Amino acid sequence: MPELPEVETIVRGLKPRVTGRRIGRVRVLRPDLLREDPEAFSARLEARTVVRLERRGKNLAFALSDDGTLLVNLGMTGGMLFSENGEPAEATHPGVRFLFQGGGRLVYDDTRRFGVLEVLDPEQWRDRDRALGPEPLADGYSARKMARALEASRSPVRSWLLDQRKLAGVGNIYANEALHRARIHPARRARTLTSDEVTRLHRAIRAVLRDAIRARGTTFRDYRDADGERGSFAPELRAYGREAEPCARCGDEIRRVVFGNRAAFHCPTCQPEPDEGLP
């Protein structure tokens, strides 16, 4: 569910609420969200202060006063809900509750429980951070850098975009949207993109992520921000979820194809099929 724009929206909402606050009690209602036992997890958080909160790819990283990091991946249906008084009204499947000293409650909520919460020591966090690709919205992320990385891969470009080791934060919605905006078929092999196409794709990714952040994310069904509010980007989607609807650019019918185990949406006219070269 949550991709870069959704996680960014949650982080922005949470930051002023949790930064500088000391964690009191941690209650684990759903131990399968963790990779260690609930007692150990809670013990590594209680009495620590959140000194900083940042987004890395699709993850939330809470920097703690003892140099540990609480890393949260929201999976498909995870969310972080904050309430100053009592349980957040939107919490339907609470998994972990963080009670702050002096009031304030943060609830990790997740219907399907594909999410993961873990406390990392500095070395573990450093390794995890290194394993992720660059941030697409970083100033230093140029079309040139992207071109070099694409050249090294024979994967379909949509699969490349979903690989968090190549680029951190893009998921299925925004991969499809960026490819539609850039007029590139999702199954094109990464290394076959022309330099014009790479330039368009680089620009399209950054534009669609920024547009979606401005709209506070896409709510298809589950996604809610830290206050339980929906994102408003869904009506602006041009390809994702629009099978059989007219393409906003040319009017042809958007098609849905499946590869890499995920649905891909494209306009057959604007995003022509790659000819894989007959024998």
Binding site for DNA (CB under 7 A): 1-3, 6, 32, 57-58, 73, 75-76, 93, 111-114, 153-156, 159, 162, 164, 171-173, 189, 218-223, 259-263
Give long-range contacts, CB 8 A cutoff, 24+ apart: 256-260.
257/186, 257/187, 259/156, 259/158, 259/159, 259/186, 259/187, 260/156, 260/158, 260/159, 260/162
Report, in Å, the least distance between residue 50 CB and DNA.
22
Report, in Å, the least distance between residue 64 CB and DNA.
21
Task: Confirm whether 2 is a catalytic residue.
Answer: yes
Cβ atoms within 10 Å, residue 133: 16
Distance, in Å, from the CA atom of 277 to the CA atom of 279, rounded to the nearest integer, reads 6
Task: Confirm whether 15 is a catalytic residue.
Answer: no
Cβ atoms within 10 Å, residue 151: 12
Tell me whether residue 152 or residue 250 sits nearer to DNA (CB atom). 152
For residue 229, give the amino acid letter.
Answer: E
Tell me whether residue 38 or residue 260 sits nearer to DNA (CB atom). 260
For residue 191, give the amino acid letter.
Answer: R
Report, in Å, the least distance between residue 107 CB and DNA.
16
Task: Confirm whether 243 is a catalytic residue.
Answer: no
Tell me whether residue 69 or residue 73 sits nearer to DNA (CB atom). 73
> Which residue among 44, 55, 58, 158 is the active-site one?
58
Report, in Å, the least distance between residue 69 CB and DNA.
16
Between the two ends of the chain, the Cα-to-Cα distance in Å is 40
Task: Confirm whether 3 is a catalytic residue.
Answer: yes
Which sequence positions are flagged as catalytic? 2-3, 58, 262
